[in-house]
Structure 1
Amino acid sequence: MTNGFTRLTEQFLVHIGVERGLATATVTAYESDIAKYTDWLETRGIHEPDAITKQDVEDYIAALGQAGESARSKARRLASIHEFHRFALGQHAVTADVSAAVKAPKGASTLPDVLTVDEVTRLLDTAAVGGSTDPVVLRDKALLEFMYATGCRVSEATGANLDDIDLDEHIARLMGKGSKQRLVPLGSYACRAITAYLNAGRGELERRSSAKIPERRALFLNKRGKRISRQSVWEIVKATGERAGITKPLHPHTLRHSFATHLIQGGADVRTVQELLGHASVTTTQIYTHVSPEALIETYLTAHPRAR
């Protein structure tokens, strides 16, 4: 990378890492994307940001496809390029954002795996295992209720501490990407499940710890009394789904996807869902505004004056 791009890239990385507070891993991903992009531009004799044209951006995305990158990967790299060009425009390093009109390749925006409301109910009811008082069962029920109630990321669930939960106010504090905190409501089902777990489950799990100093902070503990891991959450979701007879692919993010989709279907506006999910951009949230063909037909039949 020559001096034409070096300073702008350094400023961009400081901007997203410090001013916007993005996570270190995210900043590193941006850095990699932009380095690859500017290196490619220099092979075409382009050494200054203002010399880039829309055609150059389109040719770069096409070159990625020829190199075997998937539509999703190309879309992610293009998102980085969009951010870079917007920043360059804001810094007056360019006179126009030539990337703005370049769209992501078709097929890049695939809909996430989503459970129906009935499937979520079946999953959460199955986690209870007939009202068992086993501490692991109580934990699994509380964990899954918590994840669906808040729409949290798996890292936010495993990172949750006891003092992040206010059961009287029905509120949870989540630590999202870039160490950004947000408050989200906790529904009555989640509050009851967490209360049962705290009263009759967590203490027993903590006592199972072989550590000299027990885990006092973590909300969710594993069978050995330590903070639960991401892998354990994945296994809990998968095993509970199998017992519930759910054949769709299941992973921790399925509950987050379902949370967002059910809110949108229930009438929540996209901006509200964006805040609850902790998305930096509403564009990320808009994937949940998809409408099923059945819903489209039902709306048409009920709303169009000459549909019937």
Structure 2
Amino acid sequence: MNLDAQEPKVEQKGSVLPFPGVRPRLAKAGTSPNKGHEATGRTREYLTPAEIDQLLTAAKRTARNGHRNHMIVLMGYRHGLRVSEIADLRWADVDFQQGTILIRRLKGSHDSTHYLEGDELRGLRRLERENADSPFIFCSSTGAPLASSAISAMIKRTGKGLFRFPIHAHMLRHSCGYYLANKGVDTRTIQAWLGHANIRHTAHYTAMSPTQFKGLWS
């Protein structure tokens, strides 16, 4: 199966919130979903919590490495990870006793230590048993660390046909920011969680949140 095959023309229907700075256009035929909005017709670059649940379920049901794929999506979403940051996660980053993980950011972002939820800890312990000899958390069936390209291809493949638009791996990071802003988390906390060096990048998510308008007509 050629994972780099071109996608068919996609039409986005329904009313959705656009990602900041993105203007809706019709999809162009024969373009990759990794080319961004103008090539795919997506009107947003994030998934809602319900859509994330769908993706998690689909990842878990993949024929091979279902648990690993589920954990890739879960960790990428919960911690707002770039695909290269997912690939670079190591067992040395995890403190099972304290229930934390060191998030080493790339692209000039700031590192931070995140707490892990119970389902993450249980899932990581299972992966550790399966990949005890590797320093990397996410490995192939042969035990080699997964490349960023392999993770991106898995997420793209898992989401194909699941939604009315094609997805890409970076949408997990955007989805995390959108979720936190929609929950009412303050901008500084979101900035620290995502590791943004510039708070203006974080403001994109808070500007999208409907929370600020809640109760205006009550």
The answer to whether the superposition gives a TM-score over 0.5 is: yes
Q: In the alignment, which residue of structure 1 is the partner of 2:96? A: 167
Task: Give how far 1:231 is off.
Answer: 0.5
Deviations 1:250-272 (A, max 9, x none): 11110110011001101111110
Q: In the alignment, which residue of structure 2 is the partner of 1:304? A: 217
| 2:124 matches 1:194 | yes
Give the direction of change, closer, same or farther, for the CA distance of 1:165–1:225 in structure 2 (3 Å limit). same
Preserved contact between residue 76 and residue 86 of structure 2 (Cα < 8 Å): yes
Give the direction of change, closer, same or farther, for the CA distance of 1:296–1:284 in structure 2 (3 Å limit). closer
CA distance in 2, matches of 1:262, 1:252: 16
Give the direction of change, closer, same or farther, for the CA distance of 1:219–1:285 in structure 2 (3 Å limit). same
Listed as ranges, the matches of 1:222-233 within 5 Å are 222-233=140-151
How high is the TM-score relative to the length of structure 1? 0.52
1:225 aligned counterpart, secondary structure: coil
Higher helix share: 1
The one of 157, 168, 184 aligned to 2:114: 184
Q: State how many pairs are aligned.
A: 179
Preserved contact between residue 139 and residue 202 of structure 1 (Cα < 8 Å): no
1:233 aligned counterpart, secondary structure: helix
Structure with bigger RCO (C-alpha 8 Å, 6+ apart): 2
CA distance in 1, matches of 2:71, 2:79: 12
The one of 141, 164, 183 aligned to 1:266: 183
Identity of aligned residues (%): 25
1:235 aligned counterpart, secondary structure: helix
The one of 257, 261, 275 aligned to 2:174: 257
How high is the TM-score relative to the length of structure 2? 0.72
CA distance in 2, matches of 1:297, 1:221: 42
Listed as ranges, the matches of 1:92-171 within 5 Å are 109-110=21-22, 113-129=45-61, 136-171=65-100
Task: Give how far 1:237 is off.
Answer: 0.7
Instruction: For structure 2, list consecutive stretches of 5 or more residues without a partner in the other structure.
Output: 1-19, 23-42
Task: Give how far 1:112 is off.
Answer: 5.4
Moved over 6 A (4+): none
1:120 aligned counterpart, secondary structure: helix
Instruction: Give the structure with higher Rg (CA).
Output: 1
Deviations 1:218-240 (A, max 9, x none): 11112332111111111111122
Amino acid at match of 2:144: K
